[in-house]
Amino acid sequence: MTELFGRDMSVISRHLRKIFQSGELKREATVAKNATVQSEGGREVVREIEFFNLDAILSVGYRVNSTRGTQFRIWATRTLREHLVRGYTLDRQRIARSACRRSARLAPPSRRSKRWLDRESAIGWLFFSQSLTKLPTCSPDTSPPG
């Protein structure tokens, strides 16, 4: 998190301590400890390293005051807003690559098939096929490897 948000460990630790003290997150649910062996002065030392889950990273990101923290908040708020307004979040690059791979194999389901009678499947197919028309055409940088 120090690298992600461009702040010292003491700043990140202070934010985490306040997050846990306020009850925003439970330490036991957000922290995993892993032992690692390091060589120090010719001897091996076992140290426990704490790893924090995404909830802790998001909480710190909304508290830390740095340029990277501001960039993070802009990104996170935009992504959350998109998800809440649309009901989903798109990874446009992944969809473009996937569409390029599948474009030759796609065919609408038969109206006589059982699947077509499933309203959710039909709506999903409609959304997916309409979204493909909005994607850029396959270019060398989005075409699948090989």
Which residue is it, tokens 């957000």? 30
Provide mean pLDDT across the span 56-85: 91
pLDDT (tens digit per residue) in 92-127: 667 777 766 665 454 454 544 444 444 444 445 555
Contacts of 99 (CB under 8 A, 6+ apart): 132, 135, 138
Q: What is the pLDDT of residue 23?
A: 96
Percent of the chain residues past pLDDT 70, beyond the cut: 62
Provide mean pLDDT across the span 130-140: 49
Q: Which long-range contacts (CB under 8 A, 24 or more apart) does 139-145 make?
A: 142/93, 142/96, 142/97, 142/100, 143/97, 143/100, 144/97, 144/100, 144/101
Q: What is the pLDDT of residue 127?
A: 52
Is residue 26 within 8 Å of residue 83, measured between CB atoms? no
Provide mean pLDDT across the span 81-100: 73
